[in-house]
Structure formats: structure tokens, C-alpha cells
């Protein structure tokens, strides 16, 4: 177990030194897991820290412990980290171009953990994907979509691209419901019906109060918009559906028509056209 396999910075590496290196890393990894459990179970619960901050602190703790563990393991087997750092520096220049994407995602992961533009449990929109943030790692972030599909997004996408975070800061969100009503409808009844629908839904906030806007005149209808506020964005598809169904029922009860696009076609009888006989016909007559 003590025969030399190779050398690193003039230090002989043997099977026993490799074994001890792995043991040290494993011990620090187990220590990190235990410490994270203690922080979550006893410390964070008493301090009333939100879930996103808990995740950030536990990840930072894990990375610090593993870095210390790697340093101790290298020192134990006799490798001088000063010389090793020089070798790694030369190697990083050669492989930097090949690992550019991995490096950018790693740095972006640090930015996400420290600046916290997103946190665990946030409802976000990435491209056309809407979902909840489930996990933030050093290279990528996992988002669970509304269809219960896990989407793995590189961290650099959150830093370099547009990100919609529905839960950032204030979690209240406004929901807009558009509907068209017939020109024959009573406008006051329409506005009253829409406000009643909003007031009857249990998840619609009373403050800010719901309001109704007249957006303009369409080809077959007045274009109306009901604006309501929700305490949390997670259930906005269900609330939108509930309000749409309630609007249909409320309009039918009050005789308000939701028109469909239509066109009026007017057919005119053909007009007599002037007709002059051909020269041959005139000569023959």
C-alpha cells in the first residue's frame, strides 16, 4: 500500500495516501450533512428564517466545509498547495476555453445564491415555461412546471437573460380577465356583474379592490377587462378558470350576451347593363 504510483509537486502518491484523501473528503461530507440538518432542524426554525434564505445558508455552509476538507486532505498527504495552485493555474489556461460554459454556469450559481434573484419556492417564468424553483445547484437550477415536469435550466440563463419572478418581494399578483359583451347590453349591468363575480370568489383580495375597464370597441362587442388581485401567484390558472365560468353564469342570469364574430352580407339585385349589337348583326337586320 506504500508503493509509489506517481508524483505531484515532488510528493509521492501511494495507494494509502489516496485512501486517506478519500476518507478525509468523506468525513467532511458527512460532517456537512449533519451540520445542515442541525441548522434546519434547530437553528433556522427558532430564527424564523424563510425557506429561500435557509437554502442559501445551507449551501454556502456545505461549500465552505468541503473546501476546508479538500485543503486538509491535501495537507495530510503532504502536497504543498502553493505549488499545486501554480500547476492548476497553468492548466486552467489550457482548458478554460473548453470549460467556458461550465465556468459561466458555476459563477452564475454563486450569483444566484448570494444575490438571491430567485429562491426555493418562487414561481418563475423562463421562456414559455412557468413553474416553481425546486433546487439551485452550482451548475443548474431545477424548475417544476405546472405539468409536473422537471426542467433543468443552466444558471447562466438566469443571469444573462430576462427572468420573470412572480414571487420576488411582494407575492400579490394581478389577474386580468378579458370578455366581450354585445352592443345591445346595458353597460351598467355589465360592470355590476363583473364586480359581483370578483367579490364572490374567495381567493380574490378585497384590497386592492377589483375594477373593470372598458378597453374599446370591437367589431362585434365592447371589450371589457376585469382586474383582480391574488395573494399568491400559484393558483392563478385555477382562479382564472373559476372567474370565466362565473362570468358566463352571471351574464346569463342578467341577460347579458357574449357575442361571437359575425358579418352582415347585403346582396343587391344586378343592374341592367347597356348592350349594343355587333356590327354584323346590325347589317344582317
Cell 426542467 belongs to which residue? 151
What cell was used for 145? 412546471
- What is the pLDDT, as a whole number, of residue 226? 95
Full-model pTM: 0.60
State the DSSP string of 152-175.
EEEHHHHHHS--EETTSS---EEE
pLDDT digit string (tens) for the chain, length 285 residues:
666 666 665 666 677 777 888 888 888 888 888 888 888 777 777 776 666 667 777 877 888 888 888 888 777 777 666 655 555 554 555 555 555 666 677 677 777 777 778 888 889 988 788 899 988 877 788 999 988 999 988 888 887 778 888 888 788 999 999 999 999 889 999 999 999 999 999 999 999 999 999 999 988 899 999 999 999 888 899 999 999 999 999 999 999 988 876 666 666 666 565 655 555 545 555
* Cβ neighbours, 10 Å, residue 22: 11
What distances in angstroms separate CA 236 from CA 116, 211, 241, one per listed residue?
A: 24, 17, 9
- What is the pLDDT, as a whole number, of residue 189? 94
- What is the pLDDT, as a whole number, of residue 170? 82
Q: How far apart are alpha carbons 66 and 21 in whole angstroms? A: 13
Q: How far apart are alpha carbons 48 and 52 in whole angstroms? A: 12
* Cβ neighbours, 10 Å, residue 172: 14
Of residues 147, 159, 152, 114, the one with CA closest to residue 134: 152
- What is the pLDDT, as a whole number, of residue 275? 56
Q: Mention every residue, 6+ apart, whose C-beta is less than 8 A from residue 9.
A: 79, 80, 83, 84, 87
- Paired strand residues for 177: 226
Are the C-beta atoms of 194 and 243 separated by less than 8 Å?
no
- What is the pLDDT, as a whole number, of residue 212? 95
State the DSSP string of 49-104.
--HHHHHHHHHHHHHHHHHHHHHHHHHHTT--HHHHHHHHHHHHHHHTTTTHHHHH
Amino acid at each position: 500500500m506504500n508503493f509509489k504510483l506517481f508524483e505531484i509537486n515532488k510528493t509521492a502518491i501511494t495507494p494509502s495516501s489516496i485512501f486517506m484523501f478519500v476518507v478525509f473528503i468523506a468525513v467532511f461530507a458527512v460532517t456537512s450533512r449533519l451540520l445542515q440538518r442541525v441548522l434546519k432542524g434547530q437553528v433556522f426554525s427558532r430564527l424564523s428564517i424563510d425557506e429561500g434564505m435557509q437554502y442559501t445558508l445551507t449551501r454556502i455552509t456545505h461549500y465552505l466545509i468541503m473546501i476546508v476538507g479538500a485543503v486538509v486532505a491535501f495537507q495530510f498527504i503532504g502536497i504543498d498547495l502553493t505549488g499545486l495552485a501554480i500547476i492548476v493555474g497553468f492548466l486552467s489556461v489550457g482548458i478554460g476555453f473548453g470549460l467556458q460554459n461550465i465556468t459561466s454556469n458555476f459563477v452564475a450559481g454563486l450569483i444566484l445564491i448570494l444575490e438571491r434573484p430567485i429562491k426555493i419556492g418562487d414561481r418563475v417564468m423562463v421562456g414559455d415555461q412557468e413553474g416553481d424553483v425546486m433546487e439551485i445547484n452550482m451548475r443548474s437550477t431545477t424548475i417544476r412546471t405546472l405539468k409536473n415536469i422537471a426542467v433543468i435550466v443552466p444558471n447562466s440563463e438566469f443571469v444573462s437573460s430576462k427572468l420573470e419572478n412572480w414571487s420576488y418581494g411582494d407575492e400579490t399578483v394581478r389577474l386580468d380577465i378579458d370578455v366581450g359583451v354585445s352592443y345591445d347590453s346595458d353597460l351598467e349591468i355589465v360592470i355590476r356583474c363583473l364586480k359581483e363575480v370578483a367579490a364572490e370568489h374567495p381567493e380574490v383580495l378585497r384590497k386592492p379592490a377589483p375594477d373593470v375597464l372598458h378597453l374599446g370597441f370591437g367589431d362585434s362587442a365592447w371589450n371589457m377587462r376585469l382586474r383582480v388581485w391574488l395573494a399568491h401567484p400559484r393558483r392563478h390558472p385555477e382562479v382564472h378558470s373559476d372567474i370565466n365560468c362565473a362570468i358566463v353564469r352571471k351574464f346569463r342570469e342578467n341577460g347579458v350576451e357574449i357575442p361571437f364574430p359575425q358579418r352582415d352580407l347585403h346582396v343587391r339585385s344586378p343592374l341592367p347593363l347597356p348592350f349594343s349589337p355587333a356590327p354584323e348583326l346590325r347589317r344582317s337586320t
